Amino acid sequence: MRMVVISFIILLLMIGIWAWFYYASVDPITTYFWDSLTELTDVIRDEDWETAKKDIALHTDKWYEAKKLWVFFINQKDIDNIDSSIRQLNIYIENKEKVLAQAELEHLIVLFYIIDENECLTIENIF
């Protein structure tokens, strides 16, 4: 009986860590990026490059902060994809490439959407 209890506590601990990670980090951060990147789409559409530069710098910092925790739980490939996409977006905004920046922004939104979808507890994910 003691071992059943110990293994159950370990299991609960692991589920607790996962739940904390999802609800305290993945969910709020992906929501933040959806909202802020959608706002950035409007800024790029209006070709307000100074605001776009400030915004993307802020979002990049936010991403690097979140990444410190995410590397322990999320597949490294997904993290590398976001890293690469943010880097490209920075370059497009610096060079005032409107179309490329818009396309990369959409790509980045989709990448965050995929992470949230993959980590969420749904029937589709189970099967």
- Interface residues with another protein (CB under 8 A) are 1, 3-4, 6-8, 10-11, 13-14, 17-18, 71-77
> Minimum Å distance from CB 82 to another protein?
14
Alpha carbon distance 34, 10 (integer Å): 34
From 94, 109, 108, select the one nearest 52 (Cα to Cα).
94
> Minimum Å distance from CB 104 to another protein?
23
Please identify, using beta-carbon distances, which residue of 16 and 61 lies nearer to another protein: 16
Please identify, using beta-carbon distances, which residue of 29 and 101 lies nearer to another protein: 29
Which amino acid, 3? M
> Minimum Å distance from CB 118 to another protein?
12
Q: Please say whether the beta carbons of 108 and 34 come within 8 A.
A: no
- Tokens at 73, concatenated: 């739980």
Task: Please list, in sequence order, all residues whose beta carbon lies within 8 angstroms of the beta carbon of residue 76, skipping any fewer than 6 positions away.
Answer: none
Please identify, using beta-carbon distances, which residue of 11 and 91 lies nearer to another protein: 11
> Minimum Å distance from CB 52 to another protein?
32
Largest CA distance in the chain: 66
